[in-house]
Amino acid sequence: MQRQHQEFNKIESDNPFNNALAQLASVTDMLSIEPEYYEMLKSPEKEITVSLPLKLSDGSVSTFIGYRVQHNNARGPYKGGIRYHPNVTLDEVKALAMWMTWKAAIIDIPFGGAKGGITVDPKKLTLDDLERLTRKYVNAIEKDIGPESDIPAPDVNTNSQTMAWIMNEYSKLKGHNVPAVVTGKPVELGGSEGRISATGRGVAICIRESVKRFLQKDVKDVTVAIQGFGNVGSFAAKSLMEMHAKVVAISDVFGAAKAKGEKGYFEVPFEKLLEASNRLGSVTKIPGAEIISNAELLELDVDVLVPAALENQITEANARKIKSKIIVEAANGPTTPMADKILESMRVKVVPDILANSGGVLVSYFEWVQNLNRDHWLEDEVNGRLESKMVRAFKDVLDFSEKQNCDLRRAALVIAVNRVVSAMKLGGWH
Ligand code: GLU
């Protein structure tokens, strides 16, 4: 396994799949798995690419490319979101699928890992076009998804409405109502209470736990900057503000808003921030805030930095400029392997994506269980279970990293890979 470890040292890439492989290679010396299992884990079990020709509302015809990648299902059915973004590639979806396998294993739920995506800029399509594109995609991958086989969920630029269309189209194809085929549905259609806020809430729990452990501080005494104001970033901000943390900056694709004034953090109730950003079209328009760039936000002198946007935000180019002591990865893959090494040498603690944002898939699991049992839990019950599972997973990773004297990403990966390989061995995967 020494060779893979050396390969890792040479890789710096903006290809997320290369980065996911480099992360896996970086733990080979800590894993006691046979090389054949390492080989099995390097490639997804199935990669599906579909062509989706669509007549748009303006009369033109466009062909979109869609993907579903199933990485590993040793521990349970494949699970993972679907993203709509102009930069979606097969390699990105492969990386995201692999990260889902590790994520489900870390938070210890009986799912494998998958991911889907369509290369499309949803802002350029009408809602009607988006609905028909989603239904076409479901028809194209119908045989590969299902409540017992592969369960999609929301990801970047998809939401509960997208899941409602998927559930409806899949149910039509099956001839009966199948709520458990997707998670992240509207509550009216069998969605779980607390699913929409789950990923952000889990991120905030990780922040609360990490500042306690690494800075010996209470969460209300720390400053936080959040890059990204989509589902994860906005709900992370909400939970943090409810915990009285000092959120000093937030951002979206247009730029970042840094709180002005004596206090230097956003004091208004979160709902007012959200309302202003929705009404004015961007967080950069929020009254009383200084506009800075997304790059400047990453370099703010805060206790905790939360990248909650896309991959490859913290790279070899800017890692040395990071001033925060803790990075909690709300997005998938925001830190490259080379940046990881630099941050480790700077003694910055990085709480990895596969742990920090696992609250989303955890509550997806709760939703799936409720659907299979025709049950509906109260929000307090969902949040209580989320809290205890997140705290437990955080502690597992922290204890392991202290015992092995390694960073948190390696610790999380080793725990996850060992759990997955153990399931593969018990099942006789060779
Ligand atoms: N897309 C989310 C993630 O990256 C959620 C996946 C799910 O709930 O299945 O974790």
Tens digits of residue pLDDT in 273-293: 999 999 999 999 998 899 999
Q: Are residues 86 and 123 in the same domain?
A: yes
Among the atoms of ligand 1, which is closest to the Cα of residue 83?
1
The yes-or-no verdict on residue 336 having pLDDT over 50 is yes
The yes-or-no verdict on residue 13 having pLDDT over 80 is no
Mean pLDDT of the 314-320 span: 96
Mean pLDDT of the 172-183 span: 98
- Domain membership of residue 25 (yes or no) is no
Q: Which domain-ending residue is among 160, 182, 204?
A: 182
Instruction: Match 């501080």 to its residue by tokens.
Output: 217
37 C-alpha vs ligand 1 centroid, how far in Å?
25
User: 165: which 2 tokens?
Assistant: 């269309």
Q: Cα separation of 54 and 136, whole Å? A: 8
- Domain membership of residue 49 (yes or no) is yes
> What strands, in cross-sheet order, belong to the sheet with 113-119?
46-55, 61-72, 113-119, 78-85, 150-154
Q: What is the pLDDT of residue 263?
A: 86
Q: Are residues 227 and 298 in the same domain?
A: yes
Q: Are residues 210 and 297 in the same domain?
A: yes
Q: What is the pLDDT of residue 262?
A: 81
Tens digits of residue pLDDT in 74-113: 999 999 999 999 999 999 999 999 999 999 999 999 999 9
Binding site membership of 308 for ligand 1 (Cβ less than 6 Å): no
Mean pLDDT of the 202-209 span: 98
- Domain membership of residue 109 (yes or no) is yes
- The boundaries of the domain holding residue 273 are 196-309
The yes-or-no verdict on residue 10 having pLDDT over 90 is no
Mean pLDDT of the 19-44 span: 93
Q: Are residues 204 and 116 in the same domain?
A: no
Q: Which domain-ending residue is among 182, 215, 242?
A: 182
Q: Which domain-ending residue is among 294, 309, 324?
A: 309
**pLDDT averaged over the chain?**
95
Q: How confident is the model at residue 3 (pLDDT cuts 50, 70, 90)?
A: very low
Contacts of 65 (CB under 8 A, 6+ apart): 49, 50, 51, 52, 118, 119
Which helix (DSSP H) or strand (DSSP E) does residue 80 occupy? strand 78-85
Provide the CATH number for the domain around residue 123.
Answer: 3.40.50.10860
Q: Are residues 244 and 209 in the same domain?
A: yes
DSSP annotation string for 288-321: TEEEE-HHHHHT---SEEEE-S-S--B-TTTGGG
- Number of domains, the chain: 2
Q: How confident is the model at residue 359 (pLDDT cuts 50, 70, 90)?
A: very high
Q: What is the pLDDT of residue 9?
A: 46
Q: What is the pLDDT of residue 5?
A: 47
Provide the CATH number for the domain around residue 213.
Answer: 3.40.50.720
Q: Are residues 155 and 221 in the same domain?
A: no
Tens digits of residue pLDDT in 341-351: 999 999 999 99
Q: Are residues 172 and 209 in the same domain?
A: no
Mean pLDDT of the 406-425 span: 97
Strands of 215-339, DSSP E: 223-227, 246-252, 255-259, 289-292, 304-307, 326-328
Tens digits of residue pLDDT in 371-404: 999 999 999 999 999 999 999 999 999 999 999 9
Is the model more confident about 47 or about 2?
47
Q: Are residues 167 and 204 in the same domain?
A: no
- Domain membership of residue 115 (yes or no) is yes
- Domain membership of residue 23 (yes or no) is no
- Domain membership of residue 79 (yes or no) is yes
Q: What is the pLDDT of residue 104?
A: 98
- Domain membership of residue 19 (yes or no) is no
Q: What is the pLDDT of residue 17?
A: 97
Contacts of 4 (CB under 8 A, 6+ apart): 25, 28, 38
Mean pLDDT of the 108-121 span: 98
List residues with catalytic annotation.
115
Q: What is the pLDDT of residue 429?
A: 86
- Domain membership of residue 388 (yes or no) is no
Q: Are residues 54 and 173 in the same domain?
A: yes
Q: What is the pLDDT of residue 12?
A: 52
Binding site membership of 332 for ligand 1 (Cβ less than 6 Å): yes
Q: Are residues 159 and 49 in the same domain?
A: yes
Ligand 1 pocket, mutate which of 94, 98, 100, 231 (most atoms under 8 A from CB): 100
Q: Are residues 201 and 178 in the same domain?
A: no
Q: How confident is the model at residue 267 (pLDDT cuts 50, 70, 90)?
A: confident
Binding site membership of 319 for ligand 1 (Cβ less than 6 Å): no
Q: Are residues 96 and 204 in the same domain?
A: no
**Backbone region of residue 184 per phi and psi (left: phi > 0; alpha: psi in -120 to 50; beta: other values):** left
Binding site membership of 77 for ligand 1 (Cβ less than 6 Å): no
